[in-house]
Structure 1
């Protein structure tokens, strides 16, 4: 069921795949726009669902401190831009949400593949976070992450949490 493209996950040192997607306002956003910054690219299954809302709000509430440490944040889901616009507005999100309805970018990042839920096996978006360094290389790749507490864990894994 899983294709070879979806089976390959990124690893530290890989070149992050280039992308250009539409954001919640219909603007084109590219990974190249973040060149020279450390960028947290996180993939989430669906806007306005409980787990995805919790995760997005966690990034929203942590954005200022992350930016102070040189990180940008970008969220990517298969949702259409209209759904992302409502989600961003309702939750007052302060970072770009990008639409990947064909899941091309999700596949390139290894965030699309086989999932199991309540005994059902299907293909879908795997909640994942990839950190891209200033030169466009992967510095951290996490798959099957939990929505709750993810930003705190990410900070610890990046060595930017003093605790």
Structure 2
């Protein structure tokens, strides 16, 4: 897991719309990076939609929100079109970035130990240091909690 105070590992990944996103190029904005399992699943959809609904408030606080899953950029495009999402979604197809960030590994899924996305959120300062991390157990209210942390900085 990424630790508070360390420089966030940089990455460049495909994103919705056919482009790429590079974490370090989002500076000097703060960045909220949240990892989720997949487009269109009920809990993940709720999480993406909650962050999307608060996107304007995050922007007012000088913060960019970026979602990250293993889904392809093409799948992100379909999900965005269907759900009316306006925040960027990056594709970590091989899961390497999520592994580097401690957001992919063993977890219990319906009583079985499996490899998968560990729902996580990271708040990154404008200088690239990690300000706060969350391991997310419950999606409801999480985006608002993250927004409150951004606004408190």
TM-score, L = length of structure 2: 0.94
1:151 is paired with a residue whose SS is helix
The equivalent residue for 1:16 is: 8
Q: CA deviation at 1:154?
A: 1.7
TM-aligned CA deviation for residue 151 of structure 1 = 0.8
- Is structure 2 residue 120 aligned with structure 1 residue 128? yes
Structure 1: gaps (5+ residues): 1-8
> Aligned-pair distance for 1:89?
1.2
**Alpha-carbon distance in structure 2 between the residues aligned to 1:56 and 1:42:** 9
Structure 2: gaps of 5 or more residues: none
Specify whether residues 14 and 97 from structure 1 end up closer, same or farther in structure 2 by C-alpha distance, changes over 3 A only: same
Is the CA contact 2:54–2:144 (under 8 Å) kept in the aligned structure 1?
Answer: no
Segments ≥4 residues shifted beyond 3 Å: none
Q: Retained in 1: the 8 A contact 2:61–2:150?
A: no
2:97 corresponds to = 105
**How far off its partner does 1:159 sit?**
6.2
The equivalent of 1:160 in structure 2 is: 151
TM-score normalized by the length of structure 1: 0.89
Distance in 1 separating the partners of 2:26 and 2:150: 21
SS at match of 1:72: strand
Conservation of the 8 A alpha-carbon contact between 1:114 and 1:121: yes
Query: What is the number of residues matched between the two proteins?
Result: 152
Pick from 62, 68, 72: which aligns with 1:76? 68
Q: Give the RMSD, CA atoms, in angstroms.
A: 1.3
